[in-house]
Amino acid sequence: MIRRIDWYGMEAVEFSKGDYTALLIPSMGANLVRLANTRLGIEILRTPKPEEVENFKVRPHVYGLPLLLPPNRIAGAHFEFEGRSYDFPVTIPAEGAYHHGVIKSQPFVVSKAIESDDEVLIEARFYSNAANDVIFRHLPHEFKCKMIFRLSNAGLEHSVVFFNRSQSAMPIGVGYHTPLNVPFMADSVGDDYRLVLSAGERWLLTDQNLPSDTRTPLEGAFEHLADEGVMPVGHGPISAAFTLAPIEVDGKEYRGAIIRNVRNGHRVFYRVDEKTKYWTVWNNGGEVPWICPEPMSWATNAPNMRNLPDELTGFASIEPNGKWSMTTWLYAE
């Protein structure tokens, strides 16, 4: 099923396949604001309530599947690459940093909406150029961004593809500020849940919330993050950064996050591909019914950490006429 609807005054695309239903808002960064397994009664993503719609328009990054370009912070709102300077507005005055970018609130256009026996495919596109300069003025590269949503009875496959149409290499760092519901089912509470993450080391942050020179093993409050899991909400703030390392889940290698209901065994899986190098985990103080395990292709402030190997920081660029993609999967069991 695919249908266009009015969602609190915004044009939306509602689509369903198998046990899953989803809701896309093209005009707000092609944000998928709802994903649910209706058979299990699991609401995976934080969806704006009627009284939160205006807040969603201002802070889309705390709802749904918000795309970040760049992810997290750029120190000094500035970096240099191949002899070019990239300057951004300071959006966190106390830290002198730029964060999250603005593509998360830019209008995309739905270019495909196709249903087959096996899946629903929705594709949305955004173009950045001198005539559409909300991003171009700070990241002066012509590019096309394509978001692809494939919904089937296996859940959601979500890809983003960037095409560099400029004449120089384009720095590319992408993330998602994804708030997963905790609890994700009725008749359960936050203490019923654990967050498991395919994390290798914790990357300690400075007072400006930037990566420091120190990485440590998972210890203290995060000792069991990669195996038994940690309580995601209701037990204080979490604002931490981690390198990604595969873990074993159900006898197989796994890259991603899992929210597990320890009382009934149901799980939400947020699987990532090899483009994800780094995690930020944030629960907005811990007294909200959601947590953001944020997959990022490069580390916070990666363009200003070129003294470290790109394999560690995830710093990357797209050659002229080249493309770059990143894929994640969301599903429930």
- Cα–Cα distance measured from residue 74 to residue 87, given in angstroms and rounded to the nearest whole number: 10
Q: Which residue has the tokens 């440590």?
A: 216
Average pLDDT of the chain to the nearest whole number: 97
The pLDDT of 221-245, averaged and rounded, is 97
CA–CA separation, 296 vs 173, rounded Å? 7
Question: Could you please report the per-residue DSSP string of 275-327?
Answer: T--EEEEE-TTS-SSEEEEEEESS-TTGGG-TTS-HHHH---EE-TT-EEEEE
C-beta of residue 332 within 8 angstroms of C-beta of residue 44: yes
Which amino acid, one-letter code, is at 208? Q
Label residue 126 by pLDDT band (50, 70, 90): very high
Listed residue (174, 105, 112, 91) closest to 134, CA to CA: 105
Q: How many whole angstroms separate alpha carbon 73 and alpha carbon 270?
A: 23
Give the pLDDT score at 175.
97
The pLDDT confidence band at residue 201, using thresholds 50, 70 and 90, is: very high
Structure tokens at 156: 């959601």
pLDDT band for position 228 (cuts 50, 70, 90):
very high
Distances from the Cα of 14 to the Cα of 32, 115, 120, 146, angstroms: 10, 12, 11, 19
Domain residue limits at 269: 2-332
For the stretch 237-295, pLDDT in tens is: 999 999 999 999 999 999 999 999 999 999 999 999 999 999 999 999 999 999 999 99
Taking residues 79-94, what's their average pLDDT?
A: 95
In this predicted structure, what is the pLDDT of residue 188? 96
**What is the model's pLDDT at position 316?**
98
pTM over 0.85: yes
Q: For residue range 8-38, what is the model confidence (pLDDT) as tens digits?
A: 999 999 999 999 999 999 999 999 999 999 9
| 158 pLDDT tier (thresholds 50, 70, 90) | very high
Confidence of residue 134 (pLDDT cuts 50, 70, 90): very high
Binned at pLDDT 50, 70 and 90, residue 169 comes out as very high
Report the pLDDT value the prediction gives residue 220, as an integer from 0 to 100.
Answer: 94
User: Residue 117 corresponds to which tokens in the numbers above?
Assistant: 């026996």
Total domains, the chain: 1
The CATH number covering residue 96 comes to 2.70.98.10
Q: State the pLDDT at residue 290.
A: 98
pLDDT score for 74:
96
CB hemisphere CA count around 267 (13 angstroms): 15
Task: Give me the percent of the chain exceeding a pLDDT of 70.
Answer: 100
Beta carbons of 58 and 29 less than 8 angstroms apart: no
